[in-house]
Amino acid sequence: MSNPRPRKKARRAVAVCAKVAAPLPPLPSLPLAALEHLLHFLPVASLQLLGATCTFLHQLIHGRTITTLEFPFTPSFLQELAAASTIDKKPLLRLTCYEASLPHISGLYSTWAKRMQMIAQVQLPLLDLSRLRELVLEPDLTVHHTLRPSSPVFVDVLTQVLTALAGQDSLRRVTRLGVPLASILASIKLDLLYAETRGTRVLNMLAGLLELDLIVRTKAELNQLGEGGDLMAHVRPVSLGIIVMPSVMITRKTVKEVANPWVEELVLTCPCLLQFRLRMAILRRVAVKTYSLPGEEACSLLATADLQPSLHRTGSCGVDVRSLWEGCPLLTKFNGIPLEVQGVIVVGWQRDIWWLRRNQLGKSYTEWMVGTKRAFHRDYRARGGELGLQAWARTRWSPRQLKLQAGLNYRQI
């Protein structure tokens, strides 16, 4: 017996699904104006990968722009400039400066600072910076293995670069910034000092960033991240990264509250003795990478009798998960561990504050912590932990509720 014919409504649903499942047109088939508009929204790293897929996209991306260039200019790039009969200025999208690529610093500090300032005044005007969107100024991260801070000359070089770019009004399109915190603080002071002549160009750039990566080198810089700091009041990044280098000597448990009402994703690299308590109203995701001091292998927050001292206390090292109940009600992921969201945006950003409805699930702190404890224990076992839930909780978990010292950056409805 043959199968009955499907009803007309079922046939129509199948036809609709077939239309939805039709393959999308290839990217090069789009109109040129649409392609050029779409390329404005991609990170430079994605543009470079896209340009390697076909000849057409390679010509469209690399033929019209310079995707990445290193400052100061590398010897190979200087040789290309010397050999060229004509120089065609293409818009630069990403400017990088790495401490590891700078020449060995010797002699007087003032001599090197003046020399790098002269290099910036000569080389930067050779570039078309009208479409600069990413500025990556990073120190040598190999100092993570030592207690040696980055060179003060390098920080001064980065300050000179930011000052020169602000003077050329080349920071308007920057959406990603990676820089030592000291350079940002020095640039803010210069911006406020010369506000009448050139405007607040660095502050305007900070307010329009999508991604900000900060490198903290000293305890004084670390204090600028807390309540009353000079930085967090000016930045509005969607994604914030903070790297606390081992040169910031943390020898005992240190609590630091960090507040920003605009961050949705936070990535932290810090010693396990440094414990951040977050007040970020719309924060959704947190990723924490902790380390011990050079020469140590065990987590500093664990008891000496712990059987697996190399496994850090996730939820205590770097970030105290207990502070998220009150300070981050929209959080859903902590190091990939799913958490129950405890709030929802009701009105949005009004009167310089978010309006949220907290505890929408109706759970108490104790009930929320029960589910959170089980999720963190599953992560502990997935990382090679051997203790059961009760034994793990006695040594690696604390259910006591925390109260944040400063006020919240959202209003409950």
Assess if residue 225 is contained within a domain: no
Range of the domain at 51: 34-64
Mean pLDDT lowest among 6-10, 333-337, 367-371, 405-409: 6-10
For the cut 90, the answer to whether the pLDDT of residue 20 exceeds it is: no
Q: Give residue 152's pLDDT.
A: 63
Q: Give residue 29's pLDDT.
A: 84
Alpha-carbon distance of 411 to 413, in angstroms, equals 7
User: Starting from the edge strand earliest in sequence, which strands make up the sheet with 337-338, in order?
Assistant: 66-70, 92-98, 134-138, 176-180, 211-216, 239-244, 265-271, 285-291, 333-334, 337-338
For the cut 60, the answer to whether the pLDDT of residue 27 exceeds it is: yes
| Percent residues over pLDDT 70 in the chain | 84
Which residue in the block uniquely carries the two structure tokens 């190091």?
Answer: 335
Assess if residue 48 is contained within a domain: yes
Assess if residue 59 is contained within a domain: yes
Q: Give residue 338's pLDDT.
A: 92
For the cut 70, the answer to whether the pLDDT of residue 153 exceeds it is: no
Assess if residue 54 is contained within a domain: yes
Mean pLDDT value across residues 96-110: 63
Assess if residue 19 is contained within a domain: no
Alpha-carbon distance of 274 to 255, in angstroms, equals 6
Cα torsion through 108, 111, 117, 119, rounded to 10: -110
In angstroms, what CA-CA distances link 209 with 134, 212, 235, 245, 363?
10, 7, 7, 23, 36
Assess if residue 52 is contained within a domain: yes
Assess if residue 42 is contained within a domain: yes
DSSP state for residue 161 in the 8-state scheme = H
- What's the domain count of the chain? 1
Residue of 374, 334, 337, 341 whose CA lies nearest to 359: 341
Q: Which residues contact 275 (CB under 8 A, 6 or more apart)?
A: 253, 254, 255, 256, 316, 317, 318, 319, 320
Find residue 244's DSSP bridge partners: 216
Assess if residue 169 is contained within a domain: no
Residue of 241, 243, 189 whose CA lies nearest to 216: 243
Q: Which residues contact 48 (CB under 8 A, 6 or more apart)?
A: 61, 67, 68
* Pairing mode, strands 353-358 and 343-350: antiparallel
DSSP state for residue 405 in the 8-state scheme = S
Mean pLDDT value across residues 330-359: 86
Convert the pLDDT of each residue in 218-230 to its tens digit. Answer: 888 888 876 545 6
Q: Give residue 109's pLDDT.
A: 53
In angstroms, what CA-CA distances link 370 with 19, 67, 111, 373?
46, 49, 60, 5
Split at pLDDT 50, 70, 90, the class of 241 is very high
